[in-house]
A and B are shown apart, each in its own frame.
Chain A
Amino acid sequence: MMGNKILLSHGSGGKRSHDLISKMFRSAFDNPLLARMDDSAVLDLNGRVAFTTDSYVVTPIFFPGGDIGKLAVCGTVNDMAMMGAKPLYLSIAFVIEEGLLEDDLRMIVESVRQAALEANVQIVTGDTKVVGQGMADKLFLNTSGVGVIPEGIDISGSNARAGDKVILSGTIGDHAIAVLSRREGLSFSTDLKSDCAPLNHLVSQMLQASANIHSLRDPTRGGLATTLNEIAAQSQVGIRIEENQIPVRREVRAACEMLGFDPLYLANEGKLIAMVTPEDAQRVLAAMRAHELGKDAAIIGEVTDKKPGRVTMTTAIGSHRIVDMLVGDMLPRIC
């Protein structure tokens, strides 16, 4: 039996839209700010505010370890967390392709709800549009978020300093390979799950351990290599990493061998890198390892004053090479 499908009239602004919003979204994301159903949510914020937005167009919309809804919440929460902010409120906009199954939408709404709960953020405003078939790929989401940055915290991609240790929170490439394994025409079997997760609690644990975290960033699209290059350029420092120290799951490595990919360039959705003063590095590392999302954390290299803007790597066999940004698409769109 075919389930109910989203129709263009669900986006008309009429009765169907109201039904969809109240049955599907309002009930799922219920909180006093949303319940007012005014044209905007009115927020009470004190101090410095972090504000970010991102759109999510992943294919397929369901993948091992998550779906587009979880991704949309985690992605935006993480963007705020990487500034040391405490994420508070999210908006979420659904662009739905006509014909999407209501059950699929319901599952995604549920995982948005779950992820928001896990990250301890509230969804306070939203929007729904339904577009004709072929005008979107099943479902696009956009989330914006606001959070507050506690007093005394100054974290930025431009704050890395020579001597800082580079700490990675866990294995790289899990998300990319998990999503890829579900791509049509590219079926290889793996039990791998996406690492998609909100990192704000991990970050707050790290911030408690040290006031000397200079930079934080989650290596999403473009992978670890691209993110390190961004920081090297922003901070005008060199970064040297050790291939042997970078945690990569066997399954990810095997898939990379098979497909000719480099794990350094694979997308992650639940990992972060931190640039921390050498004195505090071990303490931060221990704090990370004490958290579920950082249990495989490792120091993978250090920041140098040589070759500003360059990332270099000691290769597994003890030689060295340059690690550049991702150029072009190594993979089809996966996040």
Chain B
Amino acid sequence: MKFIDEFRRSDLAQAVSARIQQRSKTPARLMEFCGSHTVAIFKHGIRQMLPPTIDMTSGPGCPVCVTANTDIDKSIALAKIPGVILATFGDMLKVPGSYSSLQEAKAEGADVRVVYSTLDALAIAKENPDRKVVFLGIGFETTTPTIAASVLQAEAEGIRNFSILSQNKVCPPTIRALLDLGEIRLQGLICPGHVSAVIGSHPWDFISREYGIPCVVSGFEPLDILQGIEMLVAQIESGQSKVEIAYRRGVRPEGNRKAIEVIEQVFQPCAASWRGIGIVPGSGLKLRPRYERFDADLAFDIQPGPTREHAGCLCGEILRGVKTPADCRLFGKACTPENPVGPCMVSHEGSCSAHYLYGEDHGE
């Protein structure tokens, strides 16, 4: 934490902002993939420090938001199976599926427990040997290593009543899918810092190589983000496209070998369904055959029933970057963080919630 202050210095931030203002000539649309970036950008007022040439667009990178209704319905159906304890990170609780949410299932008697780490879920399994404890695996490459580690630990300790419902996702294939849709034209991409801390910066190479889009891996402090934008502007103005790292203290080009290994040991790629984007080959993770007995998908007969999308909610379009929360008729009216209609308002990292909570202030 000793870094925080120097990455929030107003004089440095103003100087970077001034350089961006000066340098940026070409109108450019930049996307931050990651929800944590979206929140930081709003929270620190970064959009207001950029010249009119730069249009910031929020991408799909919030693990809660991108979870498709089919998968949420599945978690709810699983939680309702007698004898099951579903352990989940708290942010999944309120997300509405087709007909209800985990929170409602809990109120109706399902045993849903909020945990802060996968180790807590393992502890619950040990304390309840006569119950079946399922951990709801949600998240990107950042959280996957700990989930993989919990499977290894369960195996090592011979815990038999523990399994995971893997809805874990990996990011690079989805960026490709998004770009292939051709709906948005991007001149630059701020790549997720935490994900890159695990997988490195190389997995983004294809974006600059094949699509000609400059990429910068950025951290989450305001100066990290501003610096990332400055580096993107420099690439754009000099006609380059490469992958750069503005987050050297957190990310190495080759990533974290150990974390990658533990993911690869336990999981293998599979197709996954993303809200608003659909099924993306290779963007999901499922347990390898060797760890099949920890796979809740195989251990239970989960019957989620037919899915349904919420009428009027634009989360899908917002996640693809083609609409903004302001385009949604429900935004701030029928849909608020108190009473969210879609996951983009439920999740703290969702675009709708960031717009609602930190709305832009254009000065006085």
- A residues sitting closer than 8 Å to B (CB atoms) are 185-186, 240, 244, 250, 253-254, 257, 260, 262, 304, 306-307, 312, 315-322, 324, 327-328
Contacts and interface: CB of A to CB of B under 8 A. Distances in A.
Given A250-B1, A321-B45, A328 B338 contact: yes
B44 A315 contact: yes
Contacts of A240: 364
Contact of B357 (A312, A315, A317, A327): A327
B363 A317 contact: no
A138 B147 CA distance: 34
Contacts of A319: 13, 44-46, 48-49
A319 to B, nearest CB: 3
Given A257-B1, A257-B4, 9 more contacts: A240-B364, A253-B1, A315-B45, A317-B222, A318-B49, A319-B49, A320-B45, A322-B360, A327-B356
10 contacts: A260-B348, A262-B43, A315-B45, A316-B222, A317-B226, A318-B10, A319-B13, A324-B356, A327-B337, A328-B337
Interface string B325-364: 0000000000011100000000010000000111111011
Interface in B1-30: 1, 4, 8-10, 13-14
A327 B336 contact: yes
Given A185-B116, A185-B120, A260-B348, A321 B4 contact: no
B162 interface: no
Nearest to A238: B364
Given A254-B1, A257-B4, A260-B348, A186 B116 contact: yes
Interface in B111-154: 115-117, 120
Q: Which of B8, B10, B45, B363 has the most CB of A within 10 A?
A: B45
A176 to B, nearest CB: 16
B42 interface: yes
B278 to A, nearest CB: 29
A301 to B, nearest CB: 13
A240 B115 CA distance: 37
Contacts of A307: 364
Interface of B: 1, 4, 8-10, 13-14, 42-46, 48-49, 94, 115-117, 120, 222-223, 226, 336-338, 348, 356-361, 363-364
Given A315-B43, A315-B44, A320 B222 contact: no
Contacts of B361: 312, 320-322
A319 B13 CA distance: 9
CB-based closest 6 A-B pairs:
A319-B45, A317-B13, A327-B337, A254-B1, A318-B10, A321-B45
Contacts of B45: 315, 317, 319-321
Q: Which of A262, A318, A324 has the most CB of B within 10 A?
A: A318
Contacts of A328: 94, 337-338
Contact of B358 (A304, A306, A316, A321): A321
A304 B359 CA distance: 19
Contacts of A304: 364
Nearest to B348: A260
Nearest to A250: B1
Q: Which of A253, A257, A260, A320 has the most CB of B within 10 A?
A: A320
Contacts of B115: 185
A268 B226 CA distance: 33
A316 B359 contact: no
Contacts of B46: 317, 319
Contact of A317 (B14, B94, B116, B364): B14
Nearest to B353: A327
A318 B364 CA distance: 14
Contacts of B43: 262, 315, 321
Contacts of B337: 327-328
Contacts of A320: 45, 48, 361, 363
A257 B250 CA distance: 15
A278 to B, nearest CB: 18
A321 B241 CA distance: 32
B286 to A, nearest CB: 27
Contacts of B48: 319-321
Contacts of B338: 327-328
A185 B123 CA distance: 10
Nearest to B220: A257
Nearest to A310: B361
B1 A322 contact: no
Contacts of B358: 321-322, 324
A182 to B, nearest CB: 14
A307 B361 CA distance: 11
A324 B49 contact: no
Contacts of A317: 8-10, 13-14, 44-46, 49, 222-223, 226
A317 B358 CA distance: 15
A95 B226 CA distance: 53
A287 to B, nearest CB: 30
Contacts of A250: 1
Nearest to A261: B348
A306 B363 CA distance: 10
Contacts of B336: 327
Contacts of A324: 356-359
A185 B115 CA distance: 7
A316 B357 contact: no
A254 B3 CA distance: 10
A317 B223 CA distance: 8
Nearest to B115: A185
Nearest to B123: A185
Contact of A322 (B44, B226, B348, B359): B359
A170 B99 CA distance: 46
B138 to A, nearest CB: 15
B357 A318 contact: no
A317 B48 CA distance: 11
